[in-house]
């Protein structure tokens, strides 16, 4: 029997002018490889594509080849999933399309208008979809990400030791989904790392690498130390929550096991703003102390800043950035963003109930650079601030001075990779447009340049079909609207309103044993 032909695409609405992809940005997505790993390799023929890495997927031959198209992606990728589906059905009318990800759970009713299968469960649900389309018997005996289907690299490899998060930050899509924290057993972690082959750095993509019981964390550190001493990798990095830093022994365990550094969600140095974000874990220690303790232990510390102009004045935000750039004891932020009230999050529900959303907000506008809500300052002042974020919010002279002071303080403490990545943030803050902060197809000085106001932003080139599309699929290129002309929830979302506005449980999950799968 011929093998089922399956194409898995990680969709992404790229903000680069020209939508050119992000092959050098860390981290990369391994969602297609994880999905592919659920299936038995000898029984399926699989191809993978990642729009985040490679830019818009336009391989019409692959769409003609595939019998099943599987689409995944983060919240803003919903429009792109519709567009890829339209291309697929235009060139291959018999293709079956399945989609999953956060918005499959947030918008199950709307999603059924566009896709044959709407997968609201975890990645394991792919097996049920494949069996439904092609018949039973396609599950992998031992699921493991198909790194062999990704571009080869000896620099960075990606793994997971858990999924979901045991905290409930107000703006996070994990909070919207309200799914229990789940840890993988140590044998699964070992298999992933060994399957990668040697990498200079293994980056764990867990939402909270420190989640679960402390005994499990220590056992994981022992495993990583063993593999590090066997030279399975040159070092590792992970995302941890701020409670990790309350015990200095954790830093020692991490460094002994080959850790290079961490990313942690600082979001703000304002205690009031951290409280507003419901980041209770960030109130345990002063943020500055947390960062400095990590750097002093020889581990680099990365973080992002989130500005909420509906809750902060621009002067307050600028004072915070001035504090950071004048302080070489801490790293500069890796990125700056406006708070995004993602669908289904507490922040989304609160802003909607308070009438703070601007009119005609589209999902495409939720890019971290567009104003979505009425600011405390005037709209004109907020727009000017958003434009400044795109050009560089911090003085290049002050950024250079910070980099010099940081190098003098930590040059002998951090590893070469850690020091390079820490100093790299000065470049990222100096030239943000080299990142993904633009809007594809938009050229400054010409008609259609950025307005930074939701509802008025040009959509970009992705919304213009590249081939002739049958009339019945033209709606796939219309943007998903979040609010209507009155700033209220758009009519298209009303069927899913109960999911978008439901209160989350707020539970903090724990893991009773190493082999636990999910916390009830």
| Confidence band, pLDDT 50/70/90 cuts, at residue 458 | confident
Residues β-bridged to residue 6: 46, 68
- Residue-wise pLDDT for 256-278, tens only, equals 999 999 999 999 999 999 999 99
Domain with CATH 3.20.20.70 in the chain: 153-337+393-420
Q: How are beta strands 45-50 and 5-10 bridged, if at all?
A: parallel
SS (H, E, C) 242-254: HHHHHCHHHHHHH
- 443 pLDDT higher than 60: no
Given this model, what pLDDT does residue 510 score?
29
Q: What is the mean pLDDT of residues 247-252?
A: 95
27 is written with which tokens? 């981290």
CATH 3.20.20.70 fits 153-337+393-420, yes or no: yes
| Confidence band, pLDDT 50/70/90 cuts, at residue 520 | very low
Q: What is the mean pLDDT of residues 161-176?
A: 92
Contact in structure between 480 and 360 (CB atoms under 8 Å) = no
- 519 pLDDT higher than 70: no
> Closest by alpha carbon to 343, among 505, 163, 498, 165?
498
Domain with CATH 3.40.50.280 in the chain: 5-134
452 is written with which tokens? 């930074």
Enter the pTM of the model.
0.92
Instruction: Give the number of other Cβ atoms within 10 Å of residue 507's Cβ.
Output: 12
Which residues are CB-neighbours of 360 under 8 A, at least 6 positions away?
454, 455, 456, 481, 483, 484, 485
Q: What is the mean pLDDT of residues 389-397?
A: 91
Q: What is the mean pLDDT of residues 412-440?
A: 81
Contact in structure between 57 and 9 (CB atoms under 8 Å) = yes
Given this model, what pLDDT does residue 503 score?
56
Q: Looking at the domain covering 5-134, what would its CATH class be? A: alpha beta
Give CA–CA dist 381/379, Å, rounded. Answer: 5
Please confirm whether the linkage preceding 27 is cis (ω < 30° from 0).
Answer: yes
The phi and psi torsions of 54 (rounded to 5 degrees) equal: -110, -5
- Residue-wise pLDDT for 335-384, tens only, equals 999 999 999 999 999 999 999 999 999 999 998 989 999 999 999 999 99
Q: What is the mean pLDDT of residues 36-50?
A: 97
- Residue-wise pLDDT for 321-347, tens only, equals 999 999 999 999 999 999 999 999 999
Which residues are CB-neighbours of 230 under 8 A, at least 6 positions away?
none
- 477 pLDDT higher than 70: yes
To which H or E segment does residue 203 belong? Answer: strand 201-204
Given this model, what pLDDT does residue 403 score?
97
To which H or E segment does residue 430 belong? Answer: helix 416-430
Largest CA distance in the chain: 67
Name the percent of the chain in helix, strand, coil, to the closest 5: 40, 15, 45
Q: What is the mean pLDDT of residues 63-92?
A: 96
| Confidence band, pLDDT 50/70/90 cuts, at residue 435 | low
Given this model, what pLDDT does residue 296 score?
96
Given this model, what pLDDT does residue 457 score?
86
Evaluated on CA atoms 218, 220, 226, 231, the torsion sign reads negative
| Confidence band, pLDDT 50/70/90 cuts, at residue 1 | confident
Contact in structure between 333 and 267 (CB atoms under 8 Å) = no
- 239 pLDDT higher than 60: yes
Q: What is the mean pLDDT of residues 423-446?
A: 69
- Residue-wise pLDDT for 97-144, tens only, equals 999 999 999 999 999 999 999 999 999 999 999 999 999 999 999 999
| Confidence band, pLDDT 50/70/90 cuts, at residue 446 | very low
The phi and psi torsions of 504 (rounded to 5 degrees) equal: -85, 160
Give CA–CA dist 189/159, Å, rounded. Answer: 8
Give CA–CA dist 116/212, Å, rounded. Answer: 36
Contact in structure between 308 and 345 (CB atoms under 8 Å) = no
Give CA–CA dist 258/241, Å, rounded. Answer: 19
Given this model, what pLDDT does residue 170 score?
94
- 447 pLDDT higher than 50: no
How much of the chain exceeds pLDDT 90, in percent?
Answer: 81
Given this model, what pLDDT does residue 509 score?
33
> Closest by alpha carbon to 177, among 499, 492, 509, 519?
499
- The three-state secondary structure class of 42 is helix
- 216 pLDDT higher than 80: yes
What's 504's DSSP letter? P
| Confidence band, pLDDT 50/70/90 cuts, at residue 439 | low
| Mean pLDDT, rounded, of the chain | 91
163 is written with which tokens? 């999924």
Q: What is the mean pLDDT of residues 208-227?
A: 94
How much of the chain exceeds pLDDT 70, in percent?
Answer: 92
Which residues are CB-neighbours of 249 under 8 A, at least 6 positions away?
none
- 81 pLDDT higher than 70: yes
Given this model, what pLDDT does residue 26 score?
87
Give CA–CA dist 138/43, Å, rounded. Answer: 6
| Confidence band, pLDDT 50/70/90 cuts, at residue 434 | low
Q: What is the mean pLDDT of residues 209-236?
A: 95
Contact in structure between 133 and 96 (CB atoms under 8 Å) = yes
């Amino acid at each position: 029997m011929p093998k089922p032909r399956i194409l898995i695409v990680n969709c992404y609405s790229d903000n680069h002018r020209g939508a050119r992809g992000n092959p050098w940005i860390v981290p990369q997505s391994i969602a297609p490889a994880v999905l592919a790993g659920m299936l038995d390799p000898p029984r399926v023929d699989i191809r993978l594509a990642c729009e985040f890495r490679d830019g818009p997927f336009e391989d019409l031959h692959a769409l003609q080849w595939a019998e099943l198209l599987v689409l995944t992606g983060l919240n803003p990728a919903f429009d792109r999933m519709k567009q890829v589906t339209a291309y697929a059905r235009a060139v291959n009318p018999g293709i079956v399309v399945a989609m999953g990800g956060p918005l499959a759970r947030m918008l199950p009713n709307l999603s059924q208008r566009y896709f044959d299968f709407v997968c609201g469960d975890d990645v394991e649900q792919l097996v049920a979809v494949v069996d439904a389309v092609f018949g039973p018997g396609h599950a992998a005996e031992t699921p493991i990400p198909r790194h062999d289907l990704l571009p080869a690299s000896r620099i960075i490899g990606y793994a997971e030791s858990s999924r979901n998060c045991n905290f409930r930050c107000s703006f996070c899509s994990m909070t919207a989904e309200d799914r229990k924290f789940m840890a993988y057993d140590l044998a699964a972690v070992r298999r992933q790392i060994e399957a990668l082959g040697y990498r200079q750095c293994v980056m764990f993509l867990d939402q909270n690498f420190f989640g679960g019981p402390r005994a499990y964390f220590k056992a994981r550190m022992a495993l990583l130390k063993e593999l590090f001493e066997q030279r399975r990798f040159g070092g590792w990095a992970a995302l941890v929550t701020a409670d990790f830093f309350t015990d200095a022994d954790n830093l020692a365990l991490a460094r002994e096991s080959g850790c290079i550094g961490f990313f942690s969600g600082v979001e703000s140095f304002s205690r009031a703003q951290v409280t507003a974000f419901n980041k209770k874990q960030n109130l345990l220690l002063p943020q500055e102390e947390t960062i400095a303790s990590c750097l002093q232990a020889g581990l680099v510390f990365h973080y992002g800043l989130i500005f909420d102009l509906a809750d902060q004045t621009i002067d307050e935000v600028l004072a915070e950035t001035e504090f950071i750039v004048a302080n070489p004891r801490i790293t500069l932020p890796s990125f700056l963003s406006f708070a995004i009230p993602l669908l289904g999050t507490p922040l989304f529900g609160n802003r909607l109930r308070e009438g703070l959303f601007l009119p005609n907000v589209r999902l495409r506008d939720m890019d971290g650079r567009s104003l979505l809500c009425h600011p405390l300052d005037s709209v004109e002042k907020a727009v000017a601030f958003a434009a400044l974020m795109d050009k560089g919010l911090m003085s290049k002279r002050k950024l250079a001075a910070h980099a010099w002071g940081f190098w003098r303080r930590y040059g002998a403490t951090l590893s070469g990779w850690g020091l390079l990545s820490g100093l790299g943030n000065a470049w990222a803050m100096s030239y943000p447009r080299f990142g993904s902060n633009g809007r594809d197809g938009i050229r400054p000085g010409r008609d259609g340049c950025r307005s930074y106001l939701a509802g008025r932003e040009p959509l970009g080139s992705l919304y213009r079909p590249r081939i002739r599309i049958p009339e019945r699929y033209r709606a796939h290129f219309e943007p998903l609207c979040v609010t209507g002309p009155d700033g209220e929830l758009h009519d298209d979302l009303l069927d899913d309103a109960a999911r978008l506005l439901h209160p989350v449980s707020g539970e903090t999950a724990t893991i009773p044993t190493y082999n636990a799968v999910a916390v009830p």
